[in-house]
């Protein structure tokens, strides 16, 4: 049950998108997110949706994977949809009991939902097509100008890659502890919210203790291999911008310019 | 009281591209009072098998009959299964969570719905049985105990549920020789005092030879053989083919026999083996 979480997961495949430089993908995703907030009508969304669909096809990630990533936010999605649907004042088109649906509300509810779905899909596509290592490497290089201002970019990137690396480890650990407590008769599946919350204590405490133990071991292993931060550290894989990377970056910029232009003109 | 497994099969990730048969057609019967060793190479399916025995995993096909009830069927109360079958995982000390040792050991009995008096009684009994001093440890934090003590306290947490079948998955993993011996002595002590079925997973063939009445040998998800230690260890070449050894003593005797010295090989006791070798050498000299 804990293994269903696909947030931040990598899907191994050989595709144009997978092979792009991580920096391009990070910048592209950021620009796309800005696009989503700049655009103000459904025509804009149609264009952005088409662009995302094209990338999806190129990335060769099965649709099932994308939908599974959307599942955890389904509740938030439904909540925002109905909140907008009922709470916005305006021209009433439909009345159920004390609730009224307005034209503006319907518009906004649809608008927000589409924005949210595109937002999550785009950002999960970034992690699905980029290895955590390349992702943090790319981020480190993008942030490297800040190094001169005293920001410890290498350490931030290292912390991020360790955090990502330990998601599956901690999930496996949680699974093990859960089984051990179930063997002692623990019940996580019945009772009200409070009972279920309390039932988590026998899992969470060993999990925290375990996380500290693993962190201590990792620190020791890194020191034993003479890790001392980013200074003087070289990379195994030197990423170089290729022609495809420039093309992809260009496409993102064109889309971005188009979104801005649309906003300014209308 | 008995446990019977019939044609048990389990497939991991069924329906996905990386589907893999973890267990195939496992069948065996264990009776009350038996001390059973489960051996097999890493990844042979031992841990998967023991998780089936207390309902943590459900088989894709087959039956697991504990005291007349098939626990593989849907609708069987999980709590009921766990009352009968206690499972101690590998590195059980990583599951400790309460403020005091006594409270932690009480977790299982409390989940069974016993009253406070009975719970206290069982905590005291279990801690004593695993070889901890109840008065000395009951109010201490489990995180302050030594490695070996932590493991004993964690095992007490399952023993306190008084299972009819106690399963220990590699109870001595990662322990020093002294603690290793203590834990195995403890397993024997618990078994002798309850006369229940005890199943222990191990890689130590000396423990198998010294303690087990029956040995289950697993290889690649299948049950290779079932038998007494003497029977199982007499197939030295078959065992080494699946990555398992015989106890060092039997190994030595087997080598001597292959080298031409007529000795019996099914001996688990050091003194007896020494006598056997001396006797054989004497006979050879006389000839």
Q: State the residue range of the domain holding A5.
A: 1-130+238-266
* Separation between Cα atoms, residue B25 and residue A17, nearest integer Å: 45
Instruction: Give A-chain residues touching B143 at CB under 8 angstroms.
Output: 209
B105-109, long-range: CB < 8 A, 24+ apart: B105/B153, B105/B156, B105/B157, B105/B160, B106/B160, B107/A181, B107/A184, B107/A185, B107/A186, B107/A202, B107/B157, B108/A184, B108/A185, B108/B157, B108/B158, B108/B160, B108/B161, B109/B160, B109/B161
Number of helices (H), then strands (E), belonging to chain B: the values are 12, 10
* Whether B82 and A184 lie within 8 Å, measured CB to CB: yes
pLDDT of residue A1: 42
pLDDT of residue B97: 92
In this structure, chain B runs to a length of 287
* Separation between Cα atoms, residue B157 and residue B142, nearest integer Å: 12
pLDDT beyond 50 at A99: yes
Confidence grade of residue A213 (pLDDT, cut at 50, 70, 90):
very high
Among A163, A156, A158, A154, which Cα is nearest to A211's?
A: A163
pLDDT beyond 80 at B286: yes
Q: In this structure, are A23 and A89 located in the same domain?
A: yes
Q: Give residue for tokens 């999960």.
A: A124
What are the phi and psi torsion angles at B100 (to 5°)?
-125, 160
pLDDT beyond 90 at B157: yes
Q: In this structure, are A27 and A77 located in the same domain?
A: yes
pLDDT of residue A16: 83
In a domain, residue A146? The reply is no
pLDDT of residue A7: 56
pLDDT of residue B245: 87
Beta bridge partners of B61: B9
Which three-class secondary structure state does DSSP give residue A139? helix
* Separation between Cα atoms, residue A261 and residue A48, nearest integer Å: 14
The ipTM is 0.86
CB B170 within 8 A of CB B42: no
CB A61 within 8 A of CB A77: no
Sign of the Cα torsion A94, A99, A105, A107 reads negative
What does pTM read for this prediction? 0.77
Which of A88-92, B55-59, B159-163 is predicted least confidently?
A: A88-92
Q: In this structure, are A110 and A176 located in the same domain?
A: no
Q: Show the CA angle centred on residue A171, arms to residues A122 and A159, nearest 5°.
A: 65
In a domain, residue A140? The reply is no
* Separation between Cα atoms, residue B157 and residue B100, nearest integer Å: 12
Instruction: Give A-chain residues touching B87 at CB under 8 angstroms.
Output: 183
In a domain, residue A59? The reply is yes
Q: In this structure, are A22 and A119 located in the same domain?
A: yes
Instruction: Tell me the pLDDT tens digit for each residue of A27-80.
Output: 999 999 998 888 888 888 888 899 898 888 888 888 877 877 777 788 888 888
* Whether B96 and A202 lie within 8 Å, measured CB to CB: no
Q: Between the CA of residue A221 and those of A150, A190, A225, A258, B242, what are the distances in Å?
A: 27, 42, 6, 50, 33
Among A179, A186, A208, A196, which Cα is nearest to B104's?
A: A186
Q: In this structure, are A35 and A86 located in the same domain?
A: yes
CB A29 within 8 A of CB A123: yes
* Separation between Cα atoms, residue A109 and residue B5, nearest integer Å: 56
* Separation between Cα atoms, residue A194 and residue A200, nearest integer Å: 10
Q: In this structure, are A181 and A197 located in the same domain?
A: yes
* Separation between Cα atoms, residue B195 and residue B182, nearest integer Å: 19
Q: In this structure, are A104 and A172 located in the same domain?
A: no
Q: Once rounded to an integer, what is the mean pLDDT over residues A197-209?
A: 90
Q: In this structure, are A244 and A220 located in the same domain?
A: no
Q: In this structure, are A126 and A224 located in the same domain?
A: no
CB A76 within 8 A of CB A45: no
State the angle between helix axes of A22-38 and A42-59 in degrees (0 to 180), rounded to the nearest 10: 160
The tokens describing B38, both together, are 């489960």
pLDDT beyond 80 at B7: yes
pLDDT beyond 60 at A5: no
In a domain, residue A219? The reply is yes
* Whether A206 and B161 lie within 8 Å, measured CB to CB: no
* Separation between Cα atoms, residue A66 and residue A125, nearest integer Å: 8
Q: CA B271 from chain center: how many Å?
A: 27
Instruction: Tell me the pLDDT tens digit for each residue of B184-238.
Output: 999 999 999 988 899 999 999 999 999 999 999 999 999 999 999 989 998 888 8
* Separation between Cα atoms, residue A125 and residue A104, nearest integer Å: 31
Residue A16, min C-alpha distance to chain B (Å): 23
Q: In this structure, are A199 and A260 located in the same domain?
A: no
Q: In this structure, are A12 and A111 located in the same domain?
A: yes
Which residues lie below 8 Å from residue B89, measured CB to CB, with a gap of 6+? A176, A179, A180, A183, B95, B169
The mean of the pLDDT values for chain B is 90
* Separation between Cα atoms, residue B243 and residue B171, nearest integer Å: 21
* Separation between Cα atoms, residue B112 and residue B119, nearest integer Å: 10
Q: Once rounded to an integer, what is the mean pLDDT over residues A186-214?
A: 86
Q: Which of A185, A186, A206 sits opposite B94 (nearest CB)?
A: A206
Q: Which of B51, B92, B112 sits opposite A185 (nearest CB)?
A: B112
Instruction: Tell me the pLDDT tens digit for each residue of B134-145.
Output: 999 999 999 999
Instruction: Tell me the pLDDT tens digit for each residue of B57-111.
Output: 889 999 999 988 888 888 888 888 888 999 999 999 999 999 999 999 999 999 9
pLDDT beyond 90 at B248: no
Q: In this structure, are A124 and A1 located in the same domain?
A: yes
* Whether B97 and A202 lie within 8 Å, measured CB to CB: yes
Instruction: Tell me the pLDDT tens digit for each residue of A125-184.
Output: 888 888 888 888 888 888 888 888 888 888 888 888 888 788 888 888 999 999 999 999
* Whether A185 and B158 lie within 8 Å, measured CB to CB: no
In a domain, residue A157? The reply is yes
pLDDT of residue B192: 92
Instruction: Tell me the pLDDT tens digit for each residue of B27-42.
Output: 999 998 999 999 999 8
Kindly list the residues of chain A whose beta carbon comes within 8 Å of any beta carbon in chain B. 176-177, 179-187, 201-202, 205-206, 209-210
Among B162, B235, B161, B160, which Cα is nearest to B205's?
A: B235
In a domain, residue A139? The reply is no
Q: Show the CA angle centred on residue A162, arms to residues A232 and A117, nearest 5°.
A: 120
pLDDT of residue A223: 92
Instruction: Give B-chain residues touching A202 at CB under 8 angstroms.
Output: 95, 97, 107
Indicate the pairing of strand B197-201 with strand B35-40.
parallel
pLDDT beyond 70 at A20: yes
What are the phi and psi torsion angles at B114 (to 5°)?
-80, 155
Q: Which of A181, A187, A201 sits opposite B95 (nearest CB)?
A: A181
Q: Give residue for tokens 């309850």.
A: B194
Element spanning B9, H or E: strand B2-12
Which residues lie below 8 Å from residue A233, measured CB to CB, with a gap of 6+? A154
pLDDT beyond 60 at A264: yes
Please give the tally of structural domains in chain A: 2
State the angle between helix axes of A132-143 and A103-129 in degrees (0 to 180), rounded to the nearest 10: 100
In this predicted model, which residue has the larger pLDDT, A162 or A6? Answer: A162
């Amino acid at each position: 049950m804990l293994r269903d979480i696909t947030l931040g997961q990598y899907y191994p495949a050989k595709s144009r998108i997978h092979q792009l430089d991580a920096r391009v993908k990070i910048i592209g995703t950021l620009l796309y997110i800005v696009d989503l907030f700049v655009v103000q009508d459904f025509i804009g969304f149609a264009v952005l949706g088409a662009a995302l669909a094209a990338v999806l096809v190129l990335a060769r990630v099965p649709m099932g994977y994308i939908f599974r990533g959307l599942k955890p936010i389904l509740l938030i999605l439904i909540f925002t949809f109905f909140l907008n649907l009922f709470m916005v004042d305006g021209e009433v088109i439909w009345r159920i009991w004390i609730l009224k649906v307005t034209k503006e509300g319907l518009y906004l509810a649809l608008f927000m939902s589409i924005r949210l779905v595109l937002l999550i899909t785009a950002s999960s596509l970034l992690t699905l097509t980029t290895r955590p290592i390349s992702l943090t490497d790319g981020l480190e290089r993008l942030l490297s100008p800040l190094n001169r201002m005293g920001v410890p970019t290498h350490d931030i990137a290292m912390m991020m890659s360790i955090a990502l690396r330990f998601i599956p480890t901690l999930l496996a650990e949680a699974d093990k502890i859960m089984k051990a407590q179930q063997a002692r008769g623990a019940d996580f599946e019945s009772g009200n919210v409070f009972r279920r919350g309390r039932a988590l204590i026998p899992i969470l405490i060993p999990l925290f203790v375990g996380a500290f133990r693993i962190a201590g071991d990792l620190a020791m292993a890194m020191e034993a291999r003479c890790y001392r931060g980013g200074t003087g550290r070289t990379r195994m894989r030197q990423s170089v911008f290729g022609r495809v990377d420039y093309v992809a970056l260009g496409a993102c910029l064109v889309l971005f310019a188009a979104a801005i232009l649309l906003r300014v003109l209308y | 009281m008995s446990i019977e497994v019939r044609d048990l099969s389990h497939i991991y990730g069924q329906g996905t591209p990386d589907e893999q048969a973890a267990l195939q057609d496992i069948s065996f019967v264990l009776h009350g009072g038996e001390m059973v060793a489960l051996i097999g190479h890493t990844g042979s399916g031992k841990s998967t098998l023991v998780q089936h025995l207390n309902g943590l995993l459900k088989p894709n096909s087959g039956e697991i009959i504990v005291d007349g009830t098939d626990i593989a069927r849907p609708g069987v109360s999980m709590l009921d299964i766990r009352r009968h079958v206690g499972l101690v995982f590998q590195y059980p000390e990583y599951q400790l969570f309460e403020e005091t040792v006594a409270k932690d050991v009480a977790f299982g009995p409390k989940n069974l719905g016993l009253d406070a008096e009975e719970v206290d009684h069982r905590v005291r009994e279990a801690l004593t049985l695993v070889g901890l001093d109840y008065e000395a440890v009951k109010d201490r934090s489990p995180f302050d105990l030594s490695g070996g003590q932590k493991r004993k306290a964690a095992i007490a947490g399952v023993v306190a549920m008084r299972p009819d079948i106690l399963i220990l998955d590699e109870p001595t993993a990662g322990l020093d020789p002294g603690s290793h011996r203590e834990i195995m002595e403890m397993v024997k002590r618990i078994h002798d005092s309850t006369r229940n079925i005890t199943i222990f997973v191990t890689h130590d063939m000396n423990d198998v030879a010294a303690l087990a009445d029956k040995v289950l040998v697993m290889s690649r998800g299948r049950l290779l053989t079932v038998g007494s230690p003497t029977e199982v260890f007499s197939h030295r070449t078959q065992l080494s083919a699946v990555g398992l050894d015989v106890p060092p003593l039997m190994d030595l005797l087997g080598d001597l026999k292959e080298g031409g010295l007529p000795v019996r090989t099914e001996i688990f006791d050091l003194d007896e083996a020494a006598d056997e070798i001396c006797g054989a050498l004497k006979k050879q000299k006389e000839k």
